[in-house]
Homo-oligomer: A and B are copies of this chain.
Amino acid sequence: MSDAGLTLGLEEDPLLLDRQICFPLYAATNLLGRLYGPVLGKLNLTYPQYLVMLVLWEQQPQTIGALGARLYLDSGTLTPLLKRMEGAGLLSRARDQNDERRVVVTLTKRGKTLRNQALHVPETMANGYNAEGVDALRESVRDLVSILAQHSTRSRGSKTA
């Protein structure tokens, strides 16, 4: 109450939780992480670690910077994460000889073979869901990501809309 704003009749409260696009994304991400947890736990992986493995299984070796570009994460997140994975024997980290600033991440044999156990993960997670509409949803969210990434301070500073 005591809203001193101008009410145009069609104006809706912009602060209603159900009007935010950000909240369903936030909730879905948390819920998904919770569902992935037990499944990935059997592989001794966390959800972000699983994503790193997905990238490395596609292409390998890669620098930390390249991993971050793909996953939209920076070294502040990746460095300790990769160290834990190195400790788990999944990968090794070494300075690039051609450019000592870079750190190259390489899968160990153990990291490569883990892929076999991970093959059933997508199927397990999708269990019971009809993929109807999922493809379209994935594309929509992906479009959103590409838009958001352009506005990210980490990539560029252009504020021109």
> Does A95 reach chain B (CB closer than 8 Å)?
no
- In the complex, the answer to whether A35 meets B116 with C-beta atoms within 8 Å is no
> Oligomeric state, in number of copies?
2
- In the complex, the answer to whether A51 meets B4 with C-beta atoms within 8 Å is no
Question: Separation in Å of the A130 CB from the closest CB of chain B?
Answer: 10
> Does A8 reach chain B (CB closer than 8 Å)?
no
Residue among A29, A142, A161 with most chain B CB within 10 A? A29
Main secondary structure of the interface of A (DSSP, over half): helix
Chain B neighbourhood of A10, CB < 8 A: none
* Contact partner, A152, options B34, B70, B141, B144, Cβ 8 Å: B34
A17-B55, A35-B151 known; 13 other A-B pairs, CB under 8 Å?
A15-B122, A16-B54, A22-B29, A25-B29, A26-B29, A26-B32, A26-B33, A27-B145, A28-B148, A30-B72, A31-B152, A136-B140, A137-B137
> Can you list 13 residue pairs at the A/B interface with Cβ under 8 Å?
A2-B119, A14-B122, A16-B58, A17-B51, A22-B47, A22-B125, A25-B141, A26-B33, A28-B29, A30-B73, A31-B148, A32-B148, A35-B148
